[in-house]
A and B are shown apart, each in its own frame.
Chain A
Amino acid sequence: KQEVTQIPAALSVPEGENLVLNCSFTDSAIYNLQWFRQDPGKGLTSLLLIQSSQREQTSGRLNASLDKSSGRSTLYIAASQPGDSATYLCALTGANSKLTFGKGITLSVRP
């Protein structure tokens, strides 16, 4: 059974700092990995999708990497802003499009 771990559960950084959010998983037989953002009381927004055959994806200030051999993914946020404050979840797609989520990392960027 796939298990997804995101540590730490919460992170607070000053504005402008570059930061890395970590995600680890136990089963490398995945179809893809996605990073989502969840704002309080809101639904999920897909940030980046990395296919199983890919190593990384970039979108603006965000860069996500995938290393299946070590069971790790990272989400890099450059020059963090207060508007980046949210909960970030990673999720892996296995068979039949079912996702397994981590518990998320709640990020707070201080002005």
Chain B
Amino acid sequence: GAVVSQHPSWVICKSGTSVKIECRSLDFQATTMFWYRQFPKQSLMLMATSNEGSKATYEQGVEKDKFLINHASLTLSTLTVTSAHPEDSSFYICSVSLPGSGNTIYFGEGSWLTVV
């Protein structure tokens, strides 16, 4: 069964609005979750590392004030795209490393964001 659940799978929003994407670990606690973004025909790129109870660590070039990450519990991390613009339209996906699995990374289903 699924190890990581991500919601919503698809979202369309208007320019200027904010969108929240949730990533939940199922049946286990995840102190660290990762957020990736994938533009069409491009590689998945790490955006930030979400740490439970502390501030997220952002990769170079990722605006922390635009992509707000909250990891308030051991099973939930949220990514909020603030003041979305059409160029933010992308595939966003979260992942966690399952403890005791040899560092196997499990991914959520991903969220397709379209900003119109």
A contact set with B: CB distance below 8 Å: 4, 9, 31-32, 34, 36, 41-46, 49, 51, 89, 91, 93, 96-99, 101-104
Contacts and interface: CB of A to CB of B under 8 A. Distances in A.
Contact of A101 (B43, B106, B109, B110): B43
B32 A97 contact: yes
B42 A103 contact: yes
Interface string B23-35: 0000000001010
Contact of A89 (B44, B108, B112): B44
Interface centre among A31, A44, A51 (most CB of B within 10 A): A44
9 contacts: A44-B110, A45-B107, A49-B102, A89-B44, A98-B46, A99-B46, A99-B105, A102-B43, A103-B41
A93 B41 contact: no
Interface in B1-55: 6, 32, 34, 41-46, 49
A49 B41 CA distance: 24
A97 B103 contact: yes
Contacts of A98: 34, 46, 49
Closest 6 pairs (CB-CB, A-B) = A43-B109, A43-B110, A44-B107, A101-B44, A101-B43, A97-B97
B110 A34 contact: no
A41 B42 contact: no
A97 B105 contact: yes
B110 A42 contact: yes
B43 A104 contact: yes
Contact of A32 (B103, B109, B112): B103
A93 B109 contact: no
B102 to A, nearest CB: 6
Nearest to A6: B43
B103 A43 contact: no
B44 A43 contact: no
A61 to B, nearest CB: 20
A43 B105 contact: no
A93 B103 contact: yes
